[in-house]
Structure 1
């Protein structure tokens, strides 16, 4: 398989937020509720997206603070980053600041080298645990939006938006590569002031004020009756 069809993805976030669960759901269609701290695990998986088969090299990185210094240069050189937090733990969203700093420094290095900029998506995991949610969907979306990142809520246990999240990562990497060849910058890599993400409706049971609709979006699926987890699309 040629390099154009190879994509490296680093999964990062605080310990216990579900990084390994998300990764294993994609790779092995498995889910476990037992928490086993990861230092670093690597996986390979193929996926056919939009008619093209890609080889995905996934790195599940350490979330515990004492292991974060072990990030290898191969991780920071990834094509894409999936930043995961736990919607039931407010501090897990704050913990993403550490990884964001590393990624933003890497973006600056790539700009200087004229290299393709990395794609980033934030995933609010454990969205099935609505009763103990601490991080609202709007808060997660705003956090991602201000940094120019994509956003998704996922559940490794219920298999919600796992395949969809990685499919979007692949599509955005392909888009970033294409725009780089054409001399442009991928939308995901634009400064936060110009980045656009679609508003996310609050989930059932949340007392959050809905964001106003974005006239730039026209989704035919919105007219169809959907279950709540089917409405959790990527932005």
Structure 2
């Protein structure tokens, strides 16, 4: 995480705090992997000087930070320029940008989508809230300001989660097929009866009348 520009507040005493613009050549960096703060110094010249209320997004190369717009040290210094910080070399460049530049603004919102930096709203030098949306297309060389957004081409596999989704579906189908075959062969719902052993007839018992003998 790189903190670029803004204000640095210093507590001078219990009741007094000074506010100074942060340098655009020195900034704190937080490593989210190690949890360690460090300080970095950048080379190159940022012609417009310090700023705040600007926008910064990560470039599609995952190493460049694209900064635009913002408020300078004077209330009338409102920018619509574009700066690029290369975090591999920690150097600033001012890229060539084509197209019609949008009105200068500060306090806008920006997000990078499909290589296009979408800048929304903000305020102008008079404090008037802007209601437009402008787009910096970083996919082209040079970059280009435009008002048309191009979504990513539809991936036919995206609806099922890409290749991983296809693999999961195939595995699921195979499991279901195996279970169905097992059920068809074994038919566990059919109650099977064991054959009864042959019952042998009970032996006949002779029925004899009692014999009476005379008493002597």
TM-score normalised by structure 2 residue count: 0.26
Q: Which has the larger helix fraction? A: 1
Question: Could you tell me the TM-score, scaled by structure 1's length?
Answer: 0.24
State which structure, 1 or 2, has the greater radius of gyration over its C-alpha atoms. 2
Task: Write 1 or 2 for the structure with the bigger share of strand.
Answer: 2
Looking at both structures, which has the greater relative contact order when contacts are Cα pairs under 8 Å and sequence separation is at least 6? 1
